Structure 1
């Protein structure tokens, strides 16, 4: 099995959900379930944020001119429906379904074309960054998949490969990957350290650092957050392994 992780960074006006999330930087949307066949797509999403953010996200999903994950540049004529399963002050759960037409395309459908049935999808949407994690059998041509994806998104989004590797080991087992970060995240993290972003008090803010690196502020924030998340999880996983060894040694000595 292989893991493929990449992100789409949407331009303003190209994706209703990305526009809503960009207006509410603390809001997040992650998939709870995502299924695709040749003609259909179903998904359940969990959003968190302020009441205003959740109202805007709900409107982006429910409006009839938005089809979850459809990459068609214009109205594609699909039959779609979105239902609100739960909406509280800080949580929104949405069910979406659409029936594909010849004009429709999506990341899951393109992935299915190249990797076959049985691909697992996990998504996270923050601001204009839409991160996809695919688990597939290892068959298929990843380069051809990205070529077709680039054609489908056109000028609406930039594609950034984050990771392509064998699937990670189960929790509690050490990884043989050495903790390597994608090059863009590695560069962002190194620059942040070198320019004093992590000093207290900070010697540079994220806007100044983004200007120095000549990248959008939102892009730099996204890369730093993903790098920090990955390193934190690796640190905790290593502690679990160490704790397990200590427990085993203690039991043996008894």
Structure 2
């Protein structure tokens, strides 16, 4: 039975999403970078997005683009505005950024699953540490919204967690940035692993060399990530 106007409400929701074969998750995980998506459109079997890829260095950003080039479901990816920039980049994002235009097979992306079901992408979305964070706007009932998310889970083999849902009429109170939000993905990975493995315990339960081997990087590179992360956290 069709929903009445009274049953529907305008809802803000925030989701954490993982799904297989996501170009953004694959490319950023391999390069140690992150991604912010700014806009999307769907036409037929193709989806289009403008994104900002960011990382600690020009190499992290370009590697993420190269990985995306090689993925079978990416039809086209093209930098916007020249080479990756390492100037005037907010510290909370990274030291280098590159805007890109990308075209990919629509049924391989989670964004198109929302768009084709009438759910609006509200502001940007982010990809870090293998998880997509989406802010959405939906005009529907909560019951129908639950069914819609279940459909997407089944259709895209996706893990979707609702982290927030509220009427859109409520004032928006953006969360205060947490300390770890200031870190790049590689820095966050290094400091979290160090804490989990007892690197900061006394006596230390693991060496920097062992942690570097676990992340498949050199000891020098690991310590560079760790020291930069520590400096950012202490400066807060």
TM-score (norm 2): 0.55
Does structure 1 conserve the Cα–Cα contact (< 8 Å) formed by 2:36 and 2:51? yes
| In the alignment, structure 1 residue 61 sits paired with structure 2 residue 63 | no
Corresponding residue number in structure 2 for 1:160: 161
Gaps of 5+ in 1: 68-79, 180-203, 210-254
| In the alignment, structure 1 residue 207 sits paired with structure 2 residue 184 | no
Which is strand-richer, 1 or 2? 2
In the TM superposition, residue 39 of structure 1 has moved relative to its aligned partner by 4.7
Within 2, Cα distance between the matches of 1:108 and 1:5? 13
Are residues 15 and 36 of structure 1, via their aligned partners in 2, closer, same or farther at CA, if it must alter by over 3 Å?
closer
Alignment deviations for residues 39-85 of structure 1 (CA, whole Å, 9 cap, x no partner): 54221001211222102211133335143xxxxxxxxxxxx322111
Within 2, Cα distance between the matches of 1:149 and 1:42? 19
2:12 maps to which of 3, 19, 24? 3
TM-score (norm 1): 0.51
Does structure 2 conserve the Cα–Cα contact (< 8 Å) formed by 1:34 and 1:41? yes
Are residues 109 and 55 of structure 1, via their aligned partners in 2, closer, same or farther at CA, if it must alter by over 3 Å?
closer
Corresponding residue number in structure 1 for 2:76: 81
Within 2, Cα distance between the matches of 1:55 and 1:143? 38
Corresponding residue number in structure 1 for 2:135: 133
Does structure 1 conserve the Cα–Cα contact (< 8 Å) formed by 2:27 and 2:68? no
Corresponding residue number in structure 1 for 2:121: 120
In the TM superposition, residue 21 of structure 1 has moved relative to its aligned partner by 2.6
In the TM superposition, residue 159 of structure 1 has moved relative to its aligned partner by 2.1
In the TM superposition, residue 131 of structure 1 has moved relative to its aligned partner by 0.9
Within 2, Cα distance between the matches of 1:64 and 1:208? 34
In the TM superposition, residue 163 of structure 1 has moved relative to its aligned partner by 1.1
Does structure 2 conserve the Cα–Cα contact (< 8 Å) formed by 1:36 and 1:109? yes
Does structure 2 conserve the Cα–Cα contact (< 8 Å) formed by 1:10 and 1:128? no
Corresponding residue number in structure 2 for 1:41: 47
Within 1, Cα distance between the matches of 2:105 and 2:160? 25
Gaps of 5+ in 2: 1-9, 87-95, 176-192, 199-236
Does structure 2 conserve the Cα–Cα contact (< 8 Å) formed by 1:38 and 1:109? no
Tell me how many residue pairs correspond in the alignment.
159
Instruction: Map 1:1-254; keep pairs closer than 5 Å.
Output: 1-9=10-18, 14-25=21-32, 27-37=33-43, 39-49=45-55, 50-67=57-74, 80-86=75-81, 87-88=83-84, 89=86, 90-98=96-104, 100=106, 104=107, 106-114=109-117, 116=118, 119-121=120-122, 122-138=124-140, 141-154=144-157, 157-167=158-168, 206-207=195-196
In the TM superposition, residue 134 of structure 1 has moved relative to its aligned partner by 0.9
RMSD: 3.4
Are residues 60 and 166 of structure 1, via their aligned partners in 2, closer, same or farther at CA, if it must alter by over 3 Å?
farther
